Amino acid sequence: MAWWNLVIKGVLSGTIIVASSEIAQRSTLFGALVISLPVASILAIIWLYRDTADLELVSEYAGNILWLVLPSMMLFFVLPAMLRAGWEFWPAIGAGMFATILAYAIGIWISQSFAAPS
């Protein structure tokens, strides 16, 4: 992959994150809407297909994204609950990140338990 292709991907991805945080300063709901759109996933899927033209790989990738979105939601349950309960920002986001990591570990363990043997 050409270096300029990586630069374009990085600039586009960074622009989405910066835009969301700037929009959130004016409207938290609209900022949340922008960042919750699966733009990063869509771009990654497009780039994966463009780089490989492998439909099976794209299908597997999209399916894995679906299942890994679920544990990532822990952050969005824990963080606002702790902030509303009076916790400081850094401990609250740390706890949210820890809960997310724990949810990922449990999810991976469960998925491996039900996976077909290789």
| Tens-digit pLDDT profile for residues 62-89 | 888 888 888 889 999 999 999 999 999 9
The CA distance from 80 to 41, in Å, is 24
Tokens of residue 11, six digits: 């600039």
State the pTM of this model. 0.64
- What residues does each domain of the chain span? 73-118
Residue at token pair 């960042």: 35
The CA distance from 110 to 14, in Å, is 33
Q: Worst-scoring range by mean pLDDT, 51-60, 90-99, 105-114?
A: 105-114
